Amino acid sequence: MQTLDVDNPGLPDLQFVLMVAALCTADMPSLNVPEDVRRTVFDRCWALLHDTSPPTEPSLRVLDLREGDDVTLDALVAVIRNTLHAHGYANMTWDHGPSEPTQSTSPDAHPLTDRLQYWDPVHPPPVDGPPESSHN
């Protein structure tokens, strides 16, 4: 069982927002947050970034944060936390292993995607290369 503490996720804010957005748009029955709350979280985040209504097509329900700034990121974190808390959720939990990729990954991205297979921010995967102590 995977768990994400809404107030203390152990992730930088950008990763937290991206993770929650991904969870809220995933077709994952094991997620403890009901579909209507997930939709509300995503729709409120969308409203902070766009002047248009959020898309209804599942494949288009993606947050593009490249145009945002620190103020936008802070607002997204606050919206996520406030919405989840208002509906009684302090943690998001799910029981779902990594899915097979739907698109091929470029060779340059393989080290990053390999690291993303891990979900324990307290005990991250080993870094590439030998440990620092072996350089003696």
Q: Classify residue 53: in a domain, yes or no.
A: yes
pLDDT grade for 101, boundaries at 50, 70 and 90 = low
Backbone angles phi and psi of 52, in degrees to 5: -110, 165
Instruction: Write down the pLDDT at residue 68.
Output: 86
Backbone angles phi and psi of 91, in degrees to 5: -135, 145
Domain count for the chain: 1
Please state, in angstroms and rounded to a whole number, the distance separating the CA atoms of residues 99 and 40.
25
Residues above pLDDT 70, as percent of the chain: 74
Q: Classify residue 111: in a domain, yes or no.
A: no
Instruction: Write down the pLDDT at residue 111.
Output: 72
Please state, in angstroms and rounded to a whole number, the distance separating the CA atoms of residues 40 and 86.
11
Helices 13-25 and 35-49 meet at what angle, rounded to 10? 130
Q: Classify residue 120: in a domain, yes or no.
A: no
Q: Classify residue 59: in a domain, yes or no.
A: yes
pLDDT value at 135 more than 60: no
Q: Classify residue 112: in a domain, yes or no.
A: no
pLDDT value at 122 more than 80: no
28-42 per-position pLDDT tens digit = 999 999 999 999 999
Domain of residue 71: give its range: 2-104
pLDDT value at 134 more than 50: no
pLDDT value at 110 more than 90: no
The residue type found at 70 is: D
Q: Classify residue 44: in a domain, yes or no.
A: yes
Instruction: Write down the pLDDT at residue 23.
Output: 95
43-99 per-position pLDDT tens digit = 999 999 999 999 999 989 999 888 889 999 999 999 999 999 999 999 999 997 666
